[in-house]
Amino acid sequence: MSIAPCPVPDSQASPPGKIKRCLRVVLAAIASVLAFLTAAITLGAYFPAIPKAGVIGPVIGGQYPFHVALLALVGAVPGAVAWRGGLVRWGRALTSVTALSAIAALGIGGVQFTAARDAGTKVSFSQVFSRLASPGGAAPDTTRIYATRDGEALEADVYLATKSRGNKVPAIVLAHAGGFHTFDKSDLRGTGRWLADRGVAVIAVDYRLATPDRPTWDKAPQDLMTALGWTRDHADEYGIDSSRISLGGMSAGGTLAMNTAYRLQNGTMRATDGTIPKPPFSVVGFYPGTDVDDMWKEDVAGTREAAELFTGGTPARYPERYREVSPTTDIRKGLQRTLLVVGDRDRSARPETIKDFGASLQAKGVDTTVKELPFSEHAFDDAYGSLTSQTSRRILLDFLNKNT
């Protein structure tokens, strides 16, 4: 369909008919862009196998379904105007596509809202629309250096919880995401502040990151072990119940947390500097890698690069390193209570892999909770106010508050 150029006003007024036709075409073009965008997002969210759309759809549609619905409705308006203005087939098609996209997006939001309510979440729709990414002013109560390694000061952000009736509070040492080689503890500020405000102290820690000339397979777990010991040493200072200190993390941080916790529990971890602390009370893995060898083989969204940076090479070259840092290696009886949370659209920490890992733990008698969030990709908690993020925080809080 060829689009005639809009008439340029001059001393002689353009015929009203040409101006109207031009405006109809402009409105239809705007509606076309919005229709294509929202349709691609919603189709990708519902059908992740669709190339390209299946990558971006679960990320945008899963975290911002109501925003997508609003965008689709906005697109429906110029489409309807173009339809009524004479571009019947074009306008009708655009109106239909945008309306269906809005309905599909609201369907995602409805499913996520139901899951949130089932988890006991007090949903805040103001956060859904106002906290698109940032946790909004969240900050730790203090930042301390918990260790110095390789000339690098390793810091911990401490989020202090208000004591309940004078009692000491549970705590969790949290490790950030980033494929073992990027990001830092500041990514956890929203979760840290939210949990602390609800009675759980949070120690969000940095750990040594891998570089091309410094693999950290034997360093980062040591850092988490040191952070756990440091937290125990400062438990009285921060009003923490030392018998209820958990260890957890997101993505690569979850891999490190589970690996460290299980090895401590199994007695297979040795301290290269300092003493070996008591194992954590429980373990949390948000969309973690459960087998670093699988991360290398599947090579999804940079997992192979992350595995090689972390271990210093390929599984063929360093099979023993891959085994040592994979949580699957340490599945035995007697492990700590474990919480696993994953999105049902996660491409790198695939939900079936997480559920199989959880089933393996349960088969050994380990108290394991697996939560699968609908229409959610990897790092579903990046958008602080999203329904999935609100739900995951509720799940985490309830797990940490459980005494046994």
Q: CA angle at residue 385 from 380 to 391, to 5 degrees?
A: 60
The average pLDDT across 282-297 equals: 97
Structure-block tokens of residue 189: 């500020």
Residue % of the chain over a pLDDT of 90: 82
The rounded distance, in Å, linking the Cα atoms of 210 and 217 is 8
Q: Is residue 2's pLDDT more than 70?
A: no
- Whose tokens are 């438990």? That residue is 235
Place of tokens 């410094």: 214
**Segment among 162-171, 360-369, 391-400 with least mean pLDDT:** 162-171
Read off the pLDDT of each residue in 286-306 and give the average, rounded to a whole number: 96
Among the listed residues 244, 275, 276, the one whose alpha carbon sits nearest the alpha carbon of residue 260: 276
Q: What is the pLDDT of residue 130?
A: 86
Query: Taking all residues of the chain, what is their mean pLDDT, rounded to a whole number?
Result: 92
Burial class (CB in 10 A: 0-12, 13-18, 19+), 88: exposed
Task: Please say whether the beta carbons of 258 and 288 come within 8 A.
Answer: yes
> Is the pLDDT score of 102 beyond 90?
yes
Q: pLDDT-derived band of residue 8, with 50, 70 and 90 as boundaries?
A: very low
Query: Are the C-beta atoms of residues 265 and 281 closer than 8 Å to each other?
Result: no
Q: Which of 28-32, 113-117, 220-224 has the lowest mean pLDDT?
A: 28-32
pLDDT digits over 152-186, tens only? 999 999 999 976 667 899 999 999 999 999 999 99
| Cβ atoms of 152 and 208 closer than 8 Å | yes
Is the pTM here over 0.85, yes or no?
A: yes
Give the pLDDT of residue 195. 97
